[in-house]
Homo-oligomer: A and B are copies of this chain.
């Protein structure tokens, strides 16, 4: 493709001749890599038309640029950017320093300090033993059928309606399938005006926090908890009260009577995976009723309950409508999809919809429709069955190796899921351990990122098996054990 003439604009004010100005803008475009080696320049006629100068001025400028090594001329086919033209890298220091007139620190509202926790590096796929959580395994995903659904959603019939701005509305097809096929598995019955599609679970938690929390209201979170939730509070400069979970999850008797909103993951606590027993769930609902607080139930990974049938959601036992239920397709389809949903009372859903409209209107329609097809054609069910089968096998291998090398899971997990919550021997700092292991191409997730600011943690780590090949588990766990042994000895 030839470089379009429109990318060249003459400077507003210049003392140089027109020909010099043209040389300057072309050279600058090449040096700054906006035109790449080998690309074809616009013809002299087209560039002359566009800039409103004579064609001979362009020809002369091009000739000069050839003799300076920026362009090469090929007979009959025109001018091209030279392979040996002077360039500078994109991220050149010189480039970014130019507009330095503004003191942005003074303009920006003061931001909370980042804690600098490490969890997983963006380039995790480069590591041989990635015991990391929440990323999809391409070998497990039903790519062919996803592609077919995507293709169908972009077909003429759907496309005309999907291209429009949907104002406040979600894809009715997706909403219907969630209501009819997904929620009933959790014992939840809901109407279309009690559900909102979100950009994944993070987006749902964020919207709920915006609408329900303001100064003077008390939010309760589990400790440890999902770091994305804590980041929301940090960004709002809101201080939530953390309550330590035990082997049955969040203890309702420790929730203060003046609580307004309680964020919880009852069916499989994040990150420990413990399941809240039925009695405690009923106690929690009774307390919510008595003390008039709202429960936000994040049911992020219920599809992976392969060790035992998933416990019914709190929402399914909620008689008074106090539970806000969150589901996500990030684990069961893939995280880059960015799609989830909230089920709650109609007035709250209406407010969330208003907020969503102001913040970004609606999740892209094509993604919603593709997911609706994936659900309605039964691919979603096959997909989660296949994942549960494979994860179940991988988990058995993990358990075997964890035992073989004498590592210690911290809790009894009846859920399944895709990770183990582990405890390192006393004195081992798991953040340091994780950093050391990276050198051997092993990724583990140190526990500190999950804990409240007031209670830093050095002894836990998470070993996930959703993204590691079963054949590599044994050697990977061996390396973890070796590093722990070394760290223990070093004390």
Contacts and interface: CB of A to CB of B under 8 A. Distances in A.
A34 B166 CA distance: 25
A401 B347 CA distance: 46
B351 A365 contact: no
B155 A108 contact: no
Nearest to A98: B321
A322 B95 CA distance: 16
Given A181-B7, A336-B165, A199 B360 contact: yes
A318 interface: yes
B317 A12 contact: yes
Contacts of A102: 294, 320-322, 345
Interface in A114-164: 122, 125, 134-136, 138, 141, 143, 146-147, 150-151, 154-156, 159-160, 162-164
Contact of A136 (B136, B163, B321, B381): B163
Contacts of A351: 108, 111
A354 interface: yes
Contacts of A232: 358
Interface stretch (A185-193, A410-418, A433-441): A185-193
Given A231-B357, A359-B206, A104 B150 contact: no
Interface string A167-200: 1010000000001110011010101111000111
Nearest to A330: B165
Interface in A330-358: 330, 334-339, 345-348, 351, 354-355, 357-358
A166 B336 contact: yes
A93 to B, nearest CB: 10
A312 interface: yes
Contact of A151 (B6, B151, B289, B376): B151
Nearest to A235: B358
Nearest to A198: B360
Interface string A431-470: 0000000000000000000000000000000000000000
Interface-central residue, A33, A108, A378, by most chain B CB under 10 Å? A108
Interface string A368-403: 000000001110010000000000000000000000
B154 A336 contact: no
A211 B91 contact: no
Contacts of A361: 199-200, 202-203, 338
Contacts of A4: 181, 185, 381
Given A111-B351, A212-B107, A360 B317 contact: no
Contacts of A240: none
A110 to B, nearest CB: 9
Nearest to A153: B150
B99 A321 contact: yes
A60 interface: no
B193 A96 contact: yes
A194 B348 contact: no
A286 to B, nearest CB: 13
A479 interface: no
Contacts of A198: 360
16 contacts: A1-B378, A9-B316, A12-B282, A34-B184, A91-B193, A99-B345, A138-B160, A164-B335, A164-B336, A198-B360, A202-B360, A206-B359, A231-B358, A235-B354, A338-B360, A363-B364
